[in-house]
Amino acid sequence: MVIFTGTGRCGTKTVAGVFRTSHERKGTLMQRIRQSPAISGNPFSTRLERFDALLEHFQAAGVSLPDMDGFADSSSAYFGFIDALVDIDPAVRIVYLVRDPYTCIPSTIAREGHLNTCWSAHPTPEDPAWEEWADWSPIERAAWIWEFRNVTAWRQLTTIPSKNWWPVKIEDFWNQIGTISHFTGLAPDMEVVKSRTVFGATDKSKLCAADTWTERERERVVEIAHQSMAHFDYGPFAHSSNTSIIGVTTIR
């Protein structure tokens, strides 16, 4: 099984087009997330709950566990179920996509992701951001979503064998086609690669582009998303340390 996933607005549709996988394969996972109100807490807080949700998803998609070898899907929905993917298929290959928050945040706002009230798009009551959420701007909310999903995914990635996953900055995607193909065993569509076709993009994100933000808005993004920005070498943390997971040149 091969899974491409990330925070949302991170290129999963483009990746599906390049590697000819399904995009958000019809099942129940995305629906379950969207129908889980944040006010009720995290419905997938345990690994067993995540496993059961995946099992239901794959069964609804018409995929039986013995047939997982040929299954390949690209969807942000898997970001919070990474550890359970290994329980479903110990040989799974997961490509985790991360996108610069300064372009991901405007895209999230353009798609009105900051208005969702479901788990992972809105704080749960125990989250410190819960009390402040009503007063937060679209930029602050989208920054929280970016940070929450990256932190959630990263915590799970570190609990599974390194052979099962590979991180990719979407900004470097076109230069890593060969590496990703080697890791996943999937052959890219070279016509799409040559044309560098981008799927799922929206011009609406230009209306709230980062170069239009105030200095305070930029500071707030760093305050909210500093952990993942530092981890993935973005913003003021770019190239600030040698501990980034990005830029690895050998398959693990």
Per DSSP, the three-state class of 117 is coil
Residue 103 to residue 173: CA distance in whole angstroms: 15
Domain architecture of the chain: domains with CATH: 2-237 (3.40.50.300)
Residue 243 to residue 117: CA distance in whole angstroms: 34
Predicted pLDDT of residue 76: 96
Residue 10 to residue 169: CA distance in whole angstroms: 9
- Give kind and range of the element (H or E) at residue 166: strand 165-169
Query: What's phi and psi for 98, nearest 5 deg?
Result: -130, 145
Q: Is the dihedral of CA 134, 151, 231, 181 positive or negative?
A: negative
Predicted pLDDT of residue 197: 80
Predicted pLDDT of residue 236: 87
Partner residues linked to 74 by β-bridges: 4, 23
Task: Look up residue 27 and give its DSSP letter.
Answer: S
Cα-based angle 52, 161, 246 (whole degrees, multiple of 5): 110
Distance (Å) of CA 183 to CA 3, 79, 164, 173, 176 = 12, 19, 9, 14, 11
Predicted pLDDT of residue 94: 98
User: Are the C-beta atoms of residues 94 and 6 closer than 8 Å to each other?
Assistant: no
Distance of CA 152 to the CA centre of its chain: 10
**Cβ-count burial 27-57 (b if 16+ within 10 Å, e if not):** bbbbebbeebebeeebbbeeeeebbebbeeb
Predicted pLDDT of residue 151: 97
Predicted pLDDT of residue 244: 37
Partner residues linked to 23 by β-bridges: 74
User: Are the C-beta atoms of residues 12 and 75 closer than 8 Å to each other?
Assistant: yes
pLDDT tens across the length of the chain (252 residues): 999 999 999 999 999 999 999 998 888 999 999 999 999 999 999 999 999 999 999 999 888 876 788 899 999 999 999 999 999 999 999 999 999 999 999 999 999 999 999 999 999 999 999 999 999 999 999 999 999 999 999 999 999 999 999 999 999 999 999 999 999 999 999 999 999 988 766 666 677 899 999 999 999 999 999 999 999 999 888 864 433 333 332 222
Predicted pLDDT of residue 239: 62
User: Are the C-beta atoms of residues 198 and 204 closer than 8 Å to each other?
Assistant: no
DSSP H helical ranges for the chain: 12-19, 29-34, 47-60, 82-88, 101-110, 138-157, 177-184, 190-195, 215-231
